[in-house]
Amino acid sequence: MSAGMDAGVVIVGAGQAGGRVALMLAQRGYPGPVTLIGAESLPPYERPPLSKEMLADPQHPLPVLVPAEEYGRLGIALHLGRRVTAIDRARQLVTMDDGASLPYGRLVLATGGRPRQLPFRLERLQVLRTAGDVRAIAARAEKATSVLVVGGGVIGLEVAATLRKRGLAVTVVEVGSRLLGRNFPEPVAAAIAERHVAEGVVLRTGVRVRAVSEDGGGLHATLSDGTTITADFAVVGIGITPDTGLAQDCGLVTDDGVVVDADMRSSDPAILAVGDMAAIPGQDGRPMRCETWQNANVTAERAVATILGEAAPPGEASWFWTDQYDLNVQLTGNTMGGTGNCLLLEQRSAVAGGRLFLMLEGDRLVGAAAINAGRDMSLCRRLIAAGVRLPAAMPEAAQFDARAARTLLTPSPASARPVDA
């Protein structure tokens, strides 16, 4: 057991990652006190349903990790509606916004991120990060006939799809030359764009919102090409800024997020960071942040192993999904190539209508994207994590060979060789 157990573990940020750390510590028998402090008034919940089920139906239950009373039952001290305002590393203390101080043996930062905003403060401009935000957007949508979505990334497009299904006229404005330019391969983004257009969404790429005003007639956005879009309201989905203020103030090393090693330890070994705000070592060793449901869980699990003095859990290929209309799109690993030696090829899935995009580096699968082919995606994730070489016939086939993939994953000395063998 690591040092500092008497003062226990204090977790700052009661989102998905912070909540998971607290629950796993308690469930795995960590004997010291566990305290979870969250600025929101709600117990930890998962955000993916916010832009999907909850925006479609505001009565949809809040996707809490566990019911609030479970924290007490597990002996976790849960402080909700409380913000940590300072960290004193020398004395190993955190201060909360009510003035109270708490000692820590280990501190876990899990403060996530804040949505980036346009430089205008208007009533009809909304962002989507919290359950409160989704209720506000759903209430506006109830009375609206049109919405402008600023940002053609995942959150913006999920909002566009959900509100289109609710019957609103939707326009999406994206500054990039195409949708989802940051991490979706071009043909996958094109398939999603095509689907939005077929549903009647107006897509405007390569333009920036220059100015926004509002009056009784709605919200008016002037774009960089001089045109104006009027809508009842707008949802801005232009990414998040990691909440690293506390970490910076107490002198931790940051680089976009709080820089951590593979065990989630920051530049101060008593302080760990997890989830969206942690800059973990990427494939090339450089710090990178990852804003996904899986990363929140994986980093939480690694932090818990570090605190408990256990071996780190085995590595997984990164994984992400989005749901828009009846499209379920999943990405794993490196889907954008990047080294110049990668080749993207498309295969049919045995799942009717499913499409699979494989990113190959030589005979190794390094990334994949699946459209309505979740079953194949699970195999691809395992192929990437296992790092096996693919027999030539596999990528050459017109249809993804799930059976061959399974064979490679149940290794016999002849069928699966480690990458570096």
Ligand X SMILES: Cc1cc2nc3c(=O)[nH]c(=O)nc-3n(C[C@H](O)[C@H](O)[C@H](O)COP(=O)(O)OP(=O)(O)OC[C@H]3O[C@@H](n4cnc5c(N)ncnc54)[C@H](O)[C@@H]3O)c2cc1C
Report the nearest approach of ligand X to the CB of residue 9 (Å): 15
Q: What x-and-dash track marks residues 154-193 binding ligand X by CB under 6 A?
A: -x--------------------------------------
**What radius of gyration, in Å, describes the C-alpha atoms of the chain?**
23
User: Is the separation of the CB atoms in 387 and 418 below 8 Å?
Assistant: yes
Angle at 223 between CA 179 and CA 327, to 5 degrees: 25
Q: With DSSP H G I counted as helix, E B as strand and the rest as coil, what are the percentages for the chain, rounded to 5?
A: 25, 30, 45
Site for ligand X in 229-288 (CB under 6 A): 243, 246, 275-276
Report the nearest approach of ligand X to the CB of residue 84 (Å): 4
Q: CA 193, 153, 56, 329: dihedral to nearest 10 degrees?
A: 60
Is 219 near ligand X (CB under 6 A)? no
Residue 174 vs 214, nearer CB to ligand X: 174
Binding footprint of ligand X, residue count (CB under 6 A):
36
The DSSP output letter for 45 is B
Residue 13 vs 185, nearer CB to ligand X: 13
Is 329 near ligand X (CB under 6 A)? no
Is 333 near ligand X (CB under 6 A)? no
Residue 18 vs 32, nearer CB to ligand X: 18
Strand partners, 185: none
Residue 133 vs 401, nearer CB to ligand X: 133
Site for ligand X in 287-326 (CB under 6 A): 291-294, 296, 320-322
Structure tokens at 144: 């609206």
One-letter amino acid for residue 88 of the chain: D
Strands (E), 175-262: 202-205, 209-215, 218-223, 228-231, 233-236, 240-242, 254-255, 257-259
Is 126 near ligand X (CB under 6 A)? no
Residue 16 vs 335, nearer CB to ligand X: 16
Is 60 near ligand X (CB under 6 A)? no
Q: Helix or strand or coil: residue 73?
A: helix
Report the nearest approach of ligand X to the CB of residue 403 (Å): 29
CA 290 to chain centre: 6
Contacts of 140 (CB under 8 A, 6+ apart): 124, 126, 232, 233
Candidates 26-34, 44-52, 59-67, 372-380: pick the segment binding ligand X (CB under 6 A): 44-52
User: Is the separation of the CB atoms in 7 and 103 below 8 Å?
Assistant: yes
Which of 84, 148, 163, 238: binder of ligand X (CB under 6 A)?
84
Binding site for ligand X (CB under 6 A): 12-18, 37-40, 47-48, 50-51, 83-84, 110-113, 128-129, 155, 243, 246, 275-276, 291-294, 296, 320-322
